[in-house]
Amino acid sequence: MKDLIQLGDISIEVNRKAIKNVHLSVHPPDGRVTLSTPLNTRLEVARAYAITRLAWIRKQQEKMKAQLRESPRRYIQRESHYLWGRRYLLNIIHTEDKAHVTIDHKRITLHVKPGSNKSRREAIMYEWQKSLLHDYIQQVIPKWEKILGVRVNAYYVQRMKTKWGSCNYRSGNIRLNTELVKKPKDLVEYVIVHEMAHLLFPTHSGNYVALMNRFYPRWREARMELNDLPLGHVEWKDM
């Protein structure tokens, strides 16, 4: 069951769950606020708690607003693009062959037909990046299935506006943000492990934290590092 608390200009989504303790979160990249509470928590109690954390909420939101964002990509010669945490220069080669992408230690080369526009170049790059992310995910999931003793029924990669990933523990499915392909691989692995752990414990309960502490002890540092990296520039449309 969800309710909404309004504290001035701050909206807080209240989610009642089968947990023992309250859990307040400010989510990147836009500072969305959620408060998870035990099932029997009255709304006025949740509101009183949120008021005590108002200064912390504002501090987290200001930090996210100040976070670096990538400028819009134009997909032109010598433009900077990121892959697995490294910066590459974009090289454009015109060809009559099928469009494709290659990479060396300094450059990402986009092979496209003459006259291709920004949208076409972006689409080719996006599909290439998505294929690389698929390849990496398919290495990581089996490794952690054995470690955690879980089974991922299916995974999906897609553009996500406010999350790095999500998990539907009932279906055994996880979803991952395509922006992850730009981040260091160890941080991508952290996100995958984070979502896979939710197959065992759906909420951020004490049991969930204990599981992460046991199997991925540097998860807090990884989360902080990931959320401190520049956010991608995406022109979001209704989806």
Domain co-membership, 207 together with 113: yes
Domain ranges, residue 20: 2-66
Domain co-membership, 92 together with 51: no
Tell me what pLDDT residue 239 has: 23
Domain co-membership, 94 together with 191: yes
User: Is residue 236 a part of any domain in this protein?
Assistant: no
Domain co-membership, 54 together with 87: no
Domain co-membership, 46 together with 153: no
For the chain, give the percent of residues with pLDDT over 70: 92
Which runs of consecutive H residues, i.e. helices, occur in 40-184?
A: 43-52, 54-66, 118-148
Residues 6+ apart with CB under 8 A from 72: 233, 235
Domain co-membership, 126 together with 202: yes
Tell me what pLDDT residue 238 has: 27
Domain co-membership, 47 together with 94: no
Bridge pairing between strands 173-177 and 154-158: parallel
Tell me what pLDDT residue 27 has: 82
Tell me what pLDDT residue 94 has: 96
* Residue ranges in the chain modelled with pLDDT below 50: 233-239
Give counts: helices (H), strands (E), the chain. 6, 11
- The tens digit of pLDDT for each residue in 123-165 reads 999 999 999 999 999 999 999 999 999 999 999 999 887 688 9
Specify the number of domains making up the chain: 2
**pTM for the full predicted model:** 0.74
Tell me what pLDDT residue 63 has: 77
User: In angstroms, rounded to a whole number, what is the distance separating the alpha carbons of residues 185 and 105?
Assistant: 16
